[in-house]
Amino acid sequence: MKRAFVALSLLILLFFFWQIGKDYDRPYLSFQKKYKELLAKEGEGEPELAAFPLGARQNWLVGLSRVDRCETCHLGIEDPRFRDARQPFRTHPDADSHPFESFGCTVCHGGQGLATSVEDAHGPTKNWNEAVYHENFLQKSCSLCHGETVGESAPVLARGREMFYEYGCRGCHKVEGKERKKVGPPIRKIGGKVRIDWLFRWLRNPRDYLPKTRMPDFALFEQEAADITLFLIPQTQGTREAAAGSVERGRKVFNEYRCVTCHALEGKGGDIGPDLAKIGSKLRPDWLLKWLRNPHEIMPATRMPVYNFTEQDARDLAAFLMGEYVDLELPEDEVARNLTAVAKGNVRNGKTLVEKYGCTGCHEIEGVEDRGENGSELTRVGDIHISRLEFGEVEVPRERRTVPNWLYNKMRKPRLFKDDLKMPDYHFSDEQAEAVTTYLLSLTAEKVPAQYNLPLGERPSDYNPQGEFGKVLEKYRCLVCHRIRGKGGILAPDLSWEGSRVRREWLLGYMKNPDTIRPILVERMIQLKIPDAEIQTLDSYFRTTLVDDRVENLAGAVRGMHLGDPEAILRGRKLYFEKYGCDACHQINLVGGTIGPDLTHAGKRLRPEWVVQWLRNPKTFLKRSVEPVYTFPPKEMEDLTAFLLSPKGGKRKP
């Protein structure tokens, strides 16, 4: 008994010292010793080594309410000598713009700043929700200080944000402060629009008809698809009737109005509007005719402009599309088979299914009440605790159970965790899934103090012209492609300074009959046949409002230049072709590159003041212009301008 007592006492004593000893041998010490070895090799010798104390380091960021001890092991993050060192010693690539003293690590990277062991710091651990973010999702943190519209500086986050609203996620998921918008077309009297067999096929697999569609895949059973089809189109339809019109003339109309700018046909064309290659197997001709006359009446939010088609043009165009573009891969008997399947449907079940799957998240549907978002709210999804996420039937080891991993997998396969979930599959690629996940992770309640706020990127523009000009802009949907004062697309030239850029005579002619300034583009200015009164409205708005002082103030300087002098023109020609090699990117009389606009008729198109300002600095107006910035001496500037504006022969295309 006595011996046992002594042995036990010794054991306790041993345990006591072992515990104390353990405290002196912290897990980070081995890293610090390795770092010291590295320093002995790379560093400046003894004094530096002697000045390196072992022990924990921490960075108390009062403003951010964080304490980061990461530098205890990540010792080289601010030292450029360790650029190629192995982790944990490698230099931080962005230490200049985000210095460690003011930002720390965890505010961007996540993880547990206070921890001093690899597992606890990087996570995931039991009692710390935020593990270190994978580099693919890291841009989620940019929005914390830089705001939501980070733009080019955080491309993944920007893409994710764009996708979130473009794919209509907001239709089913609430995000506070963001307006709900239905991205799909309204469904009203759809029996008059599409064929029953098409709708059935579409519901079963949208990508079968339109590979690039945003409509997700609900993986419906045949019976479900039949029920919904029958609910949406209760009345029977006649067989496929032909549109009355001339197919041959319709083809000409299609080319003349340059429909291919927005719609692909036979694999070629833009992607602003849907691919029309199989349109004849989808639509009913009378609906198409109505649509061509005025699309805005049917779908106010469409991007399609109102064309000034004559009645005959519209009829021929409809006949051309319906007659020539049917789905050739569709087996003969499938139409009949689909119709038989639909006939077995149940209207009441169809309505239940439409409500269950939340079709009203994207579509306005006649006869179905919209009860608001039916998915879970995402306002703070970035803060969610892992225990609240259901992994369902998928066994995932603890070290992989993180919020980002869950979201990423949910984006890739929305029904991975459970079969009977409602969320449909968008068939996102890995990159797309990463982008959306990054945006979702950025939705947090976390706030940083004011001194950290530094909004980047373009702020959303509130440009919204009223009056006659606004109406014309709306009618022709100019802002789908063109941009004015930060609002609109980037496909076509920015018109914010159009009044200062082009000559009036040119503009009037161009609006009547747009010709090609950039020869290689598929997306060319469409033919709108704008009536004279509307052209006048556009012209006067351009002249009075869309002007830029930097250009207008050059009027005096330009008057002093000898732009008509044949010798100046000759000198300019030499500069253009020999010294600066401008022909690398610009064409004159079909000679030269096709990156920039054709300059054969630049003198008819551009105002001299604009040319001078552009030559001074092309980035004044377009930050994304690929034109190099030169610093021309004044004399060369004058000569170049003279040459550019001079008539250079060449026939104006009819």
Stretch that binds another protein, among 317-325, 409-417, 489-497, 635-643 (CB under 8 A): 409-417
Measured between its terminal Cα atoms, the distance across the chain in Å is 115
Nearer to another protein (CB atom), residue 417 or residue 510: 417
Task: Give the three-state DSSP class for 190.
Answer: helix
What is the token pair recorded at 504?
A: 């009036």
Nearest residue (CB) to another protein, 268 versus 447: 268
Question: CB under 8 A: which stretch of 5-13, 100-108, 395-403, 544-552 binds another protein?
Answer: 395-403
Which residue, 75 or 156, has its beta carbon nearer to another protein? 156
My answer on whether omega of the bond before 124 falls inside 30° of 0, hence cis, is yes
d(C-alpha 225, C-alpha 222), whole Å: 5
DSSP collapsed to 3 states, 162-189: HHHHHCCHHHHCCCCCCCCCCCCCCECC
Site string for another protein, 135-174 (x = CB under 8 A): xxx-------------------------------------
**Closest CB to another protein among residues 317, 615:** 615
| Residue 26 token pair | 């912290």
Q: Shortest distance, CB of residue 395 to another protein, whole angstroms? A: 5
CB 422, CB 357: distance < 8 Å: yes
Angle, helices 467-476 vs 532-544, to 10°: value is 120
- Cβ distance to another protein smaller for residue 564 or 593: 593
Rounded-to-integer distance, Cα 128 and Cα 117, Å? 14
SS3 label, residue 511: helix
Residue from the set 631, 633, 651, 654 that interacts with another protein by CB under 8 A: 631
Nearer to another protein, 187 or 411 (CB): 411
Q: Could you tell me which residues come within 8 angstroms of residue 484 by beta carbon, excluding any fewer than 6 positions away?
A: 463, 465, 478, 494, 495, 496, 546
Contact between 642 and 562 (Cβ < 8 Å) = yes
Decide: is 336 part of the binding site for another protein (CB under 8 A).
no
Q: How far is the CB of 587 from another protein (least distance, A)?
A: 8
> How many Cβ atoms from other residues are within 10 Å of residue 614's Cβ?
20
Of 579 and 635, nearer to another protein (C-beta) is 579
- Report how far residue 27's alpha carbon sits from residue 12's, in angstroms, rounded to the nearest whole number: 24
Shortest distance, position 588 Cβ to another protein, whole Å:
12
Asked if 112 and 121 count as a contact pair (C-beta separation under 8 A), the reply is: yes
- Binds another protein by CB under 8 A, chosen from 53, 93, 467, 634: 93
Nearer to another protein, 28 or 406 (CB): 406
CB of 136 to another protein, least distance (A): 5
Single out the residue of 198, 408, 541, 614 in contact with another protein (rule: CB under 8 A): 408
Single out the segment in contact with another protein by CB under 8 A; choices: 220-228, 230-238, 246-254, 628-636.
628-636
Considering the rule CB under 8 A, would residue 395 count as an interface residue with another protein?
yes
Contact range with another protein by CB under 8 A, out of 286-294, 523-531, 622-630, 636-644: 622-630
386: DSSP letter:
G
Cis peptide before 88 (omega within 30 of 0): yes
Work out whether 562 is an interface residue with another protein (CB under 8 A): no
Give the C-alpha separation, 224 to 420, whole Å.
Answer: 13
Do 203 and 230 meet the contact criterion of CB atoms below 8 Å apart?
no
Q: How far is 561 from 618, CA to CA, in rounded Å?
A: 20
Q: How far is the CB of 207 from another protein (least distance, A)?
A: 20
Q: Which of residues 476-495 bind another protein (CB under 8 A)?
A: none
Is residue 592 involved in binding another protein (CB under 8 A)? yes
Write down the least CB distance from residue 132 to another protein, Å.
13
The piece of 26-34, 296-304, 394-402, 476-484 that touches another protein (CB under 8 A) is 394-402
Q: Is 583 in the site for another protein (CB under 8 A)?
A: yes
**Residue in 337, 356, 579, 635 binding another protein, rule: CB under 8 A:** 579
Strand partners, 67: 60
223 binds another protein (CB under 8 A): no
Q: Is the dihedral of CA 372, 474, 619, 626 positive or negative?
A: positive
β-strands 66-68, 483-484 pairing? unpaired
Residue 420 touches another protein, criterion: CB under 8 A:
no
Considering only residues 430, 458, 505, 567, which one is a binding residue for another protein as defined by CB under 8 A?
A: 430
CB of 648 to another protein, least distance (A): 17
Among 247, 330, 416, 570, binds another protein (CB under 8 A): 416
Q: Is 394 in the site for another protein (CB under 8 A)?
A: yes
Q: Binding to another protein by residue 393, rule CB under 8 A?
A: yes
Q: Which is nearer to another protein, 364 or 583 (CB)?
A: 583
Tell me whether residue 256 or residue 578 sits nearer to another protein (CB atom).
Answer: 578
Binding residue for another protein, selected from 148, 434, 548, 609, defined by CB under 8 A = 434
- Please, what's the b/e burial string for 508-532 (b: 16 or more CB within 10 A of its CB; e: otherwise)? ebebeeeeebbeeeebbbbbbebee
Q: Which of 141, 338, 405, 527 binds another protein (CB under 8 A)?
A: 405
CB 171 within 8 A of CB 361: yes
Q: In angstroms, give the least distance from the CB of 633 to another protein.
A: 14
State the number of binding residues for another protein (CB under 8 A).
39
- Which residue among 10, 396, 421, 522 contacts another protein (CB under 8 A)? 396
Contact 286, 315 (CB under 8 A): no
Residue 461 identity (one-letter amino acid) = S
The neighbour count for residue 260, using CB atoms within 10 Å, is 19
SS3 state at 553: coil
- The DSSP annotation for 392-443 comes to TT----GGG--HHHHHHHHHH-TTSS-TT--PPB----HHHHHHHHHHHHT-
Spatial contact of 86 and 42, defined as CB atoms under 8 Å apart = no
571 binds another protein (CB under 8 A): no
Residue from 10, 49, 490, 520 that binds another protein (CB under 8 A)? 520
CB of 439 to another protein, least distance (A): 15
- Least distance in angstroms from the C-beta of 627 to another protein: 8
Closer residue to another protein (CB): 79 or 468:
79
Q: Which parts of this chain interact with another protein (CB under 8 A)?
A: 93, 134-137, 393-396, 400, 404-405, 408-409, 412-413, 416, 430, 434, 520, 578-581, 583-585, 587, 592-595, 617, 619, 626, 628-631
